[in-house]
Amino acid sequence: MTIQAAISLATPIALLATSHDESAAQIAPDVSLGRAGSPEALDALARRCSMLTFDHEQVDPGIMRDLEAAGHTLRPSARTMAIAQDKSLQRALFQREGLPVPPWQQLQRAADLAEFARSHGWPVVLKAARGGYDGRGVWVADSQPTAAALAADLLAAGVPLIVEAWVPMERELAVLVARSPSGGLAVYPVVETVQAGGICREAVAPASIDSELAQQAIEIATTIATTIDAAGIIAVELFLAGGKLLINEIATRPHNSGHLSIEGCCTSQFENHLRAILDWPLGSTELLAPAAAMVNLIATETAIELPSRLPRALAVKGAHIHLYGKEMRPGRKVGHVTALGAGIEAALTTARTAAALLMEELEGTISEDQRPLNDGW
Ligand SMILES: Nc1ncnc2c1ncn2[C@@H]1O[C@H](COP(=O)(O)OP(=O)(O)OP(=O)(O)O)[C@@H](O)[C@H]1O
Ligand SMILES: [Mg+2]
């Protein structure tokens, strides 16, 4: 999706991918194959490019520092990426800055869990400090024996762990900020996300929260963007619990919660990522409709031929369908659908209708009450 944005701006991109099957590699005009963990692959890429940017965080911090030391420009920088890569570093930094985070601590020994739970109660959430995504690396444990056994296994396997209080949240929110090296900031309307099993299922904007809370969320996100010296898009994931905001984690790249910006906002997160890292003027983040909704297409155990289902989903008026050309492995995000609407329900109904036509296990027909409202958006 970043490449789609780069095409409009006639900005050439050289892509490093691990295989030609990767979504971006299927469309990029200039692909080299190599792992993000390979110093040689990154060095060869850096020599051909005026700057490097990233669409995931799993790049070795040492390699990034070496590239910077050799005079290459990384946006975001090695230091900024190091913060995004480590939930423990993030928590510690935000806490030092006086920003709100859930109660947490680094977990060196499984035996320390009992004391943490005495102070904060059960369940607790164990998280791999590094390497997790889509809920892989997040475990909710509701009793001492389960938590201690799990933590002992993970620590023995060398997984760096944090433990945090389980937050009984009313909503999950995300704020996307584009930041350019000269300090320019563009903030997107607060998004509300719905997660299940640690995976984002849906996102809607604007979030149904009052303007004061939205302002607080935006202030937290812009403070973080400046504190970590962000370049490009960052996403700040927040919990709303007891009417108060807590920071969950950040990503220093275009993020799933911002996919709805492609059709929903004046400038997509992908275009603003490029504008920001190139230090060009940032584009307006304004919503183009009263509401925008995005539904992820997540593969299940059932074998589904998306291309053959595409035409009937395309018949849903107002649904914008994105297929990533990925192999259907259970739990994998293989596409998304965005819709705009006069309100969140209308936008969601349109997006869900098309998503169901693509992904539902039974080739059923859509019932009358599931039909999109077609309210003009
Ligand atoms: N302390 C907590 N209390 C309650 N739920 C939590 C807590 N931490 C995480 N979760 C739930 O688990 C989800 C995944 O957690 P988190 O964002 O830390 O994991 P991740 O695998 O790094 O996610 P991502 O896919 O965003 O990279 C959250 O979006 C939230 O729904
Ligand atoms: Mg997350």
What does the pLDDT read at residue 303?
Answer: 86
Non-local (6+) Cβ contacts of 241 within 8 A are: 167, 168, 169, 170
Instruction: Give, as residue ranges, everything with CB less than 5 Å from ion ligand 2.
Output: 237
Query: Which residues, given as ranges, of the chain have pLDDT below 70?
Result: 361-375
Q: Pick the ligand that lies closest to the CA of residue 136.
A: 1
Q: Pick the ligand that lies closest to the CA of residue 123.
A: 1
pLDDT tens readout for residues 45-100: 999 999 999 999 999 999 999 999 999 999 999 999 999 999 999 999 999 999 99
Give the Cα separation of 150 and 127 in Å (integer): 11
**Is the beta carbon of 135 within 6 A of some atom in ligand 1?**
yes
**Is the beta carbon of 229 within 6 A of some atom in ligand 1?**
no
Count of Cβ atoms closer than 10 Å to residue 208 Cβ = 11
Residue nearest to atom 19 of ligand 1 (CA): 135
What does the pLDDT read at residue 373?
Answer: 58
Which residue type sits at 111? A
Residue 285 tokens, joined: 């983040």
- Residue found under tokens 């349109």: 350
Ligand 1 atom at minimal distance to the Cα of residue 255:
26
Give the Cα separation of 286 and 292 in Å (integer): 11
Classify the phi-psi angles of 322: left when phi > 0, otherwise alpha if psi is within -120 to 50, otherwise beta: beta
**Is the beta carbon of 86 within 6 A of some atom in ligand 1?**
no
Give the Cα separation of 152 and 95 in Å (integer): 27
What does the pLDDT read at residue 250?
Answer: 98
Cross-strand bridge partners of residue 140: 125
Ligand 2 centroid, distance to 116 Cα (angstroms): 22
**Is the beta carbon of 125 within 6 A of some atom in ligand 1?**
yes
Indicate the pTM of the whole model.
0.95
Ligand 1 atom at minimal distance to the Cα of residue 102:
1
For 280, list phi and psi in degrees, rounded to 5. Answer: -95, 165
What does the pLDDT read at residue 119?
Answer: 96
Instruction: Give one DSSP letter per residue of 211-255, joined into a string.
Output: HHHHHHHHHHHHHHHHHTT--EEEEEEEEEETTEEEEEEEESS--
The sign of the torsion formed by the CA atoms of 61, 67, 69, 72 equals negative
The sign of the torsion formed by the CA atoms of 119, 120, 126, 127 equals negative
Q: Is 146 helix (H, G, I), strand (E, B) or coil?
A: helix
